[in-house]
Amino acid sequence: FYTVKEADRGVVLRFGQFHSLVESGLHWRPVFIDSVEHVDVNNIRSDKTDGYMLTQDENVVRVELDVQYRVVDPRSYLFNVEDADGVLSRATDSALRYVVGHTTMDEVLTRGREEVRANTLEMLEKTMNPYTVGLQIVDINLLPARPPEAVKDAFDDAISAQEDEERFIREAEAYAREVEPLARGQVRRMLQEAQAYREQIILEAQGEVARFEELLPQYQNAPEVTRERIYLDTLQDLYAKTPKVLVDVEGGNNMMYLPLEKLLEKQGRNTNTFSPTRVPENVSGGSSNSGSESQNTRSSNRSGGRN
Asked whether residue 2 carries a pLDDT value surpassing 90, the answer given is: no
Residue 119's closest CA among 133, 136, 101?
Answer: 101
Cα–Cα distance measured from residue 158 to residue 116, given in angstroms and rounded to the nearest whole number? 20
Burial 186-224 (b: 16+ CB within 10 A, else e): eeeeeeeeeeeeeeeeeeeeeeeeeeeeeeeeeeeeeee
Question: What's at 45, amino acid-wise?
Answer: R
pLDDT reading at 302 higher than 70? no
Q: What is the pLDDT of residues 183-201, one digit of tens each?
A: 999 999 999 999 999 999 9
Q: In the chain, what are the domains?
A: 2-40 (no CATH), 45-147 (3.30.479.30)
The residues near 27 (Cβ < 8 Å, ≥ 6 apart) are 1, 2, 3, 4, 10, 36
> CA triplet 162, 164, 166: central angle to 5 degrees?
70
Question: Measured between alpha carbons, how far is residue 300 from residues 197, 241, 250, 306 in Å?
Answer: 68, 48, 25, 10
In this model, does residue 109 exceed pLDDT 60?
A: yes
Residue range 246-274, pLDDT digits in tens: 665 565 555 555 555 566 566 656 554 44
- Please state the φ and ψ torsions of residue 275, each to the nearest 5 degrees: -135, 130
Q: Give the tens place of pLDDT for each residue, 35-86.
A: 777 778 888 889 998 888 988 988 888 899 999 999 888 888 888 888 888 9
CA distance 225 to 294: 38
